[in-house]
């Protein structure tokens, strides 16, 4: 097999500064470096970022090799250390046997039948949220980035933790947002003071973390006092027992899993929904087609039956195409345990391999006219179906595939269909948004839209 052939060539090194390598350029504008590298049409490129050697692959086959075929050779990269400070040792950041056990415990909460049972709650939460939005008065735009953060938080809270946000939404949303912002700036900063030092940055992080913890421990306590076994995610985590020792998770472990699912489960979906709205403000014909589909299939019931949403094929195509252009998880990194071979090249043990959905999704070989928003790429039997399965990776791949992928797709389909059934959207004049690659691919400023009756 080609990937195991003896290495014969050094990996092309992207030129950079002495000592700093490509760090400054990468921190300043990673997407433009990525585009430049893609145009060179190499199979793999060697970058030096943050004092580490990082190897970026471009081909779907090589991405599959790293994430799936040879996944046992790869662990969490040092980038996850920063996330660990905030999320603890939960599903996203943990590794090895501990991760495997936690994933086994959480997986049943995301099985197809379980998800189907959550659809009604998603529809009900979305309908309540839509009641709070009105057509924009005097064409005043609303901040859709924030609006979608609110609703995805309500949905995660209700569906996974069986709890209403009980009016604590503002504080929690603000605290999670601060944590996200602080984790980003720590990740990008060349100097990282230990968390125990009382710098203003660390103090703010700790305050936000306390607020999130208070909420999560509140959820756990509330459930314990109810003395009933619910089979939602929180119920499963609470009652899970180690097969060998019979031990249950400690409060700290429970907290880490809950914070992880909370953060991973609402921000990515909210950012995607905001990007989708942005794309629709620029593509009125696609918006009109979506509206016809949702009106025809859903009718005018406030909370249509969950079954109906599965028939919204064009809505799903719009969601998938939006995730192609703006994949929230724009890059994934892994640390090689042993040397790995990609064709004639070696990724040395201890160094980092990078797989980049953002580039895979914009490779003109697989996606002609890649910048164009064209949901028909995802039509049943259409161009996407002819591609390598790793040419499209919004949810990653292999054993670390996003545990919430079906949950997120269903949620976005429901949110989008009910949103466009109630509103037409247009952008404020001259709104030009560009992606800002932080931990997730965020817009460089909040996305705004003017809501009107369709
Ligand atoms: C549009 C929405 C979402 C996107 C684009 C997304 C993307 C991803 C990606 C790419 C990964 C793999 C990261 C890697 O391999 O390094 C991941 C992992 C994960 N996601 Fe998502 N996600 C989304 C929604 C969700 C939701 C709704 C949940 C939970 C309710 C969730 C929970 C997780 C967790 C726990 C992991 C870690 C899984 C593991 O390593 O075992 N995500 N997500």
Could you tell me the distance, in angstroms and rounded to a whole number, from the CA of residue 264 to the centre of ligand 1?
6
CB-based contacts of 79, cutoff 8 Å, min separation 6: 187, 333, 352
What distance in Å separates the CA atoms of residue 46 and residue 39, rounded to the nearest whole number?
A: 15
Can you give the pLDDT at residue 191? Answer: 66
Q: Which atom of ligand 1 is nearest to the CA of 106?
A: 35
In the sheet with 448-452, reading across from the earlier edge strand, the strands are: 142-143, 448-452, 424-426
Can you give the pLDDT at residue 358? Answer: 98
What is 2-452's CATH number? 1.10.630.10
Could you tell me the distance, in angstroms and rounded to a whole number, from the CA of residue 392 to the centre of ligand 1?
15
Instruction: Determine which residue's CA is closest to atom 9 belonging to ligand 1.
Output: 395
CA 263 to chain centre: 9
Structure tokens at 60: 């779907």
Q: Which atom of ligand 1 is nearest to the CA of 409?
A: 1
Can you give the pLDDT at residue 1? Answer: 44
Domain ranges in the chain are 2-452
Kindly give the parts of the chain with pLDDT less than 50. Answer: 1-2
Can you give the pLDDT at residue 210? Answer: 87
Question: In Å, what is the CA distance from 449 to each residue of 144, 147, 161, 275?
Answer: 6, 11, 31, 11
Can you give the pLDDT at residue 72? Answer: 95
Q: Which atom of ligand 1 is nearest to the CA of 407?
A: 27
Instruction: Determine which residue's CA is closest to atom 18 belonging to ligand 1.
Output: 402
What distance in Å separates the CA atoms of residue 454 and residue 451, rounded to the nearest whole number?
A: 9
Output b/e per residue, 139-155; b: 16+ Cβ within 10 A.
eebbebbebbbbbbbbb
Q: Which residues line ligand 1 (CB under 6 A)?
A: 91-92, 103, 260-261, 264-265, 268-269, 272, 328-329, 332, 394-396, 400, 402-404, 407-408
- Local structure of 436: helix, strand or coil: strand
pLDDT digits (tens, 9 = 90+) for 98-108: 999 889 888 88
Instruction: Determine which residue's CA is closest to atom 7 belonging to ligand 1.
Output: 395
Can you give the pLDDT at residue 26? Answer: 82
Give, for 130, the enclosing helix (H) or strand (E): helix 112-131
């Amino acid at each position: 097999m080609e990937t195991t052939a003896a290495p014969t060539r050094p990996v092309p090194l992207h030129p950079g500064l002495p000592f700093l390598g490509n760090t400054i350029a990468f921190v300043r504008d990673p997407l433009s470096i990525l585009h430049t590298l893609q145009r060179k049409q190499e199979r793999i490129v060697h970058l030096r970022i943050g004092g580490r050697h990082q190897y970026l692959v471009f081909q779907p086959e090589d991405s599959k090799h790293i994430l799936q075929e040879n996944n046992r050779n790869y662990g969490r990269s040092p980038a996850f250390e920063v996330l660990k400070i905030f999320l603890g040792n939960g599903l996203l950041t943990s590794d090895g046997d501990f991760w495997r056990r936690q994933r086994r415990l959480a997986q049943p909460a995301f099985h197809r039948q379980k998800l189907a049972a959550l659809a009604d709650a998603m529809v009900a939460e979305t309908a309540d949220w839509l009641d709070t939005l009105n057509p924009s008065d005097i064409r005043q735009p609303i901040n859709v980035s924030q609006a979608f953060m609110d609703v995805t938080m309500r949905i995660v809270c209700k569906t996974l933790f069986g709890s209403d946000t009980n009016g604590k939404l503002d504080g929690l949303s603000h605290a999670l947002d601060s944590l996200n912002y602080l984790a980003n700036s720590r990740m990008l900063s060349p100097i990282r003071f230990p968390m125990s030092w009382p710098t203003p940055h660390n103090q703010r992080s700790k305050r936000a973390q306390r607020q999130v913890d208070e909420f999560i421990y509140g959820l756990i306590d509330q459930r314990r006092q109810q003395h009933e076994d619910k089979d939602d995610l929180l119920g499963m985590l609470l009652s899970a027992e180690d097969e060998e020792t019979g031990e249950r998770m400690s409060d700290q472990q429970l907290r880490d899993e809950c914070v992880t699912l909370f953060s991973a489960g609402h921000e990515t979906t909210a950012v995607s929904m905001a990007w989708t709205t942005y794309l629709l403000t620029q593509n009125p014909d696609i918006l009109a087609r979506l509206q016809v589909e949702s009106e025809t299939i859903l009718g005018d019931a406030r909370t249509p039956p969950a079954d109906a949403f599965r028939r919204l094929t064009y809505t799903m195509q719009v969601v998938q195409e939006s995730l192609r252009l703006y994949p929230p998880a724009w890059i994934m990194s892994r640390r090689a345990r042993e040397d790995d071979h990609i064709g004639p090249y070696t990724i040395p043990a201890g160094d980092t391999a990078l797989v980049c959905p953002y580039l895979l999704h914009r490779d003109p070989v697989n996606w002609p006219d890649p910048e164009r928003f064209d949901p028909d790429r995802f039509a049943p039997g259409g161009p996407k179906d002819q591609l390598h399965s790793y040419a499209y990776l919004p949810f990653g791949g292999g054993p670390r595939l996003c545990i919430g992928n079906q949950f997120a797709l269903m949620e976005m389909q429901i949110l989008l269909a009910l949103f466009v059934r109630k509103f037409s959207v247009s952008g404020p004049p001259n709104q030009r948004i560009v992606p800002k690659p932080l931990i997730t691919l965020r817009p460089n400023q909040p996305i705004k839209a003017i809501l009107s009756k369709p």
